[in-house]
A = this chain, B = another copy of it.
Amino acid sequence: MTTATTARTGLWLIGARGSVATTTIAGRAALAAGLTPPTGMVTALPPFAGIGLPELDHVVVGGHDIVDVPLAKRAEQLVAGGVLPHGLPAAVAAELAAADEEIRQPGDDPAADIADFARRHGLHRTVVVNVASTETDPAISTGYATAAIEAGCSYVNFTPATGMRAPGLAERALAAGLPHAGRDGKTGQTLLRAALAPMFAQRALTVRSWSGTNLLGGGDGAALADPAAAAAKNAGKERVLADNLGAVPEGTVHIDNVPALGDWKTAWDHVAFEGFLGARMVLQTIWEGCDSALAAPLVLDLTRLVARAHAAGLAGPVPGLGFFFKDPDAGPAALGDQYQELLGLARTLRAAP
């Protein structure tokens, strides 16, 4: 990592030793070192060039986590699971060690940890991103959102947790001039649904049922085996259908913990729809993806965009970020329209100071 003379940006991860965080940290280092192309990173696409986003080699990473497994070990686990390429942990060992030094056990005053991190590194701005495994205790996620505000940081809720939507918090963020974004990153089945549901609506085809089953192992699979956590996740999935189709069709979404699948996820969707003169038709999709690999570049995207929005003086929910979320703060529901809104944000940022 170069010692940048330009402004530096902090990324503070809640759940900093989880799969998404570890992939984010290792991936940022690999990108900064030019070891890998920025596949999967939206802000690497041409429309986002020259709009003042912080470069990845100017991003410093820290975070909170309740576990203390070193990132190097976590990275090797992800190699074994096929998420990270062989050799990567060794190639970015120094960066993993540096990040390890900046990960704290959450204590009584998490805001102090964040503020201390920003001070010590002379960071212009820090974005707090929650990528912790889905928890069911709303107080925890509220606590982190509050800490971000208290530390003067913008906040991204990449999980289905309550986050900035707890009563009063959004108002405090706005008053403090802090931008935020959320909630629940759209990485797999819901991403696909946001691309497909508009097709049915625009073609005037009636969706009669939309059923889905997700199989996943890893930490997320175990966490979502908890019915309350699954319910939070499913609410976001349902919203995508409701907003795009105008009504929630029949059908259930299952999330099964299948440890044999490790960090990989298989999602099957079955859509029964009706066409002209009542013709009954079916679309099925099977998505075999790696959530951590899909989420990590979006975490970097959001860090860059929200930091830039902060610099540009935007406060409150950043418009145009619905493209990234299952349950966005505002904006259209169709993926294509959300991308257009994101391009609009890029134009805004390009014109901003």
- Seen from chain A, the residues whose Cβ lies within 8 Å of a Cβ on chain B are 23, 26-27, 30, 36, 38-42, 44-45, 82-86, 88, 191-192, 195-196, 198-199, 202-206, 208-209, 211, 213, 215, 249-252, 254, 256, 258-261, 266, 268, 270, 272, 274-279, 281-290, 293-294, 296-297, 323, 334-337, 339-340
A42 adjacent to B204 (CB under 8 Å): yes
Nearest-CB distance from A155 to chain B (Å)?
23
| A/B interface sample: 23 pairs, CB < 8 A | A39-B206, A39-B275, A40-B204, A82-B82, A84-B277, A191-B203, A196-B196, A198-B336, A202-B323, A202-B336, A211-B213, A213-B213, A251-B258, A254-B254, A266-B270, A266-B282, A275-B293, A276-B293, A279-B290, A283-B286, A284-B285, A285-B286, A340-B340
A276 adjacent to B41 (CB under 8 Å): yes
Q: A202-B335, A275-B39, A278-B39 are in contact. Are A286 and B288 (CB under 8 A)?
A: no
* Identical copies of this chain, number: 4
Q: How far is the CA of A272 from the CA of B195 in the complex (A)?
A: 17
List of 10 A-B pairs having minimum Cβ-Cβ separation, nearest first: A336-B336, A279-B293, A208-B260, A40-B276, A195-B199, A40-B275, A209-B260, A284-B286, A213-B213, A281-B289
Residue of B nearest to A336 (CB): B336
Q: A195-B195, A270-B266 are in contact. Are A36 and B278 (CB under 8 A)?
A: yes
Interface of A is mostly: mixed
Q: How far is the CA of A36 from the CA of B209 in the complex (A)?
A: 20
Q: A42-B203, A199-B335, A335-B199 are in contact. Are A297 and B278 (CB under 8 A)?
A: no
Which of chain B's residues have a CB closer than 8 A to the CB of A86? 86
B23 adjacent to A277 (CB under 8 Å): yes
Q: How far is the CA of A258 from the CA of B210 in the complex (A)?
A: 9
Q: How far is the CA of A41 from the CA of B281 in the complex (A)?
A: 15
Which of chain B's residues have a CB closer than 8 A to the CB of A38? 204
Nearest-CB distance from A339 to chain B (Å)?
5
A275 touches which one: B251, B283, B294 (CB < 8 A)?
B294
Which of chain B's residues have a CB closer than 8 A to the CB of A289? 275, 281-282
Q: How far is the CA of A290 from the CA of B280 in the complex (A)?
A: 8
A258 touches which one: B213, B272, B334 (CB < 8 A)?
B272
Q: How far is the CA of A213 from the CA of B259 in the complex (A)?
A: 18
Q: How far is the CA of A42 from the CA of B276 in the complex (A)?
A: 11
Which of chain B's residues have a CB closer than 8 A to the CB of A45? 202, 204
Nearest-CB distance from A256 to chain B (Å)?
5
A285 touches which one: B205, B283, B335 (CB < 8 A)?
B283
Q: How far is the CA of A252 from the CA of B289 in the complex (A)?
A: 20
Residue of B nearest to A282 (CB): B288
Which of chain B's residues have a CB closer than 8 A to the CB of A88? 277
Q: How far is the CA of A129 from the CA of B290 in the complex (A)?
A: 39
Which of chain B's residues have a CB closer than 8 A to the CB of A275? 39-40, 289-290, 293-294, 297
Q: A213-B213, A275-B290, A283-B285 are in contact. Are A192 and B202 (CB under 8 A)?
A: no
Which of chain B's residues have a CB closer than 8 A to the CB of A196? 192, 195-196
